[in-house]
Amino acid sequence: MEKVHVIKVGGAVIEDEEKLSVFLDSFSAIKEKKILIHGGGRVATDIGKKLGIEPTMVEGRRVTDEKTLDLVTMVYGGLVNKKLVARLQKMDQNGIGLTGADGSLIESKKRPVRNGVDYGWVGDPIRVNVKIVADLLKAGLIPVIAPLTHDGHGQLFNTNADTMAGVMAKALVDSFDVYLHMTFELDGVLKDVNDPASLIAEMKKEDFEHYKQSGVIHSGMIPKLENAFEAIDSGVRQVRICKFDQVNPQKSSGTRLTQ
């Protein structure tokens, strides 16, 4: 089967002009088919604070009331998404900006209350329109997907970008040879975020559970790894968590997840 790379980039890279330029250079060097799924949480937080909207986070996930939903729709689906697409066009990379609502790309259901936490307008993906994705890739386009989904009845949802990347990768395994790359500002998963030498080069699921229980892995890294291991279990060929400048699959750095 034809190879496709599903690549996620986070808000800490997007908000830093120098880091973003390096990431896009590395991304553009990938010659096979590719999909870019982006975050933008830090950008949304900064703009939200200027508008008097303070963020509420639980284990790295944003609680989303109506005002926050409007905020992230504007920031993710508008500002961040279109800036990325424009930058890619400048590099002769034919990106097309989308949310999960466009072409009914990713449909979700509203997240139920969990452990007493009501996440508000947060969606958990239930369906990916694989045909639309495959058609876009066949046409030579690079889907650039913002972390927003919908329920098919007119309701938008804020949706974790790591979750969307994992769901997209899993949905494509019957049609493509899928490689998932989760990129951010660190070298990979570190035992000590202040020590690059503490990189965990390879991680199994039992290692993840141990690190989570001991507190070595926490906050936003928890949902990132949960989605990554689900992708491995679902037949994704390879999952790599790596630094933003190492996204090119020719690189072997970062943390590789195994069964």
Looking at residue 59, its pLDDT comes to 72
pLDDT digits (tens, 9 = 90+) for 156-205: 999 989 899 999 999 999 999 999 999 988 899 999 888 989 999 999 99
Per-residue pLDDT, 11: 84
**Is 177 strand, coil or helix?**
strand
Tell me the per-residue pLDDT of 19-55, one tens digit each, with 9 for 90 and over: 999 999 999 999 999 999 999 988 999 999 999 999 9
The whole-angstrom separation of Cα 246 and Cα 65 is 36
On whether the CB atoms of residues 93 and 32 are closer than 8 A, the answer is no
Query: pLDDT at residue 253 above 90?
Result: no
Residue 17 CB partners (closer than 8 Å, separation 6+): none
Q: Do 72 and 51 form a contact (C-beta atoms < 8 A)?
A: no
Which residue matches tokens 């900006």? Answer: 97
Looking at residue 26, what is its pLDDT? 94
Domains of the chain, CATH where assigned: 3-183 (3.40.1160.10)
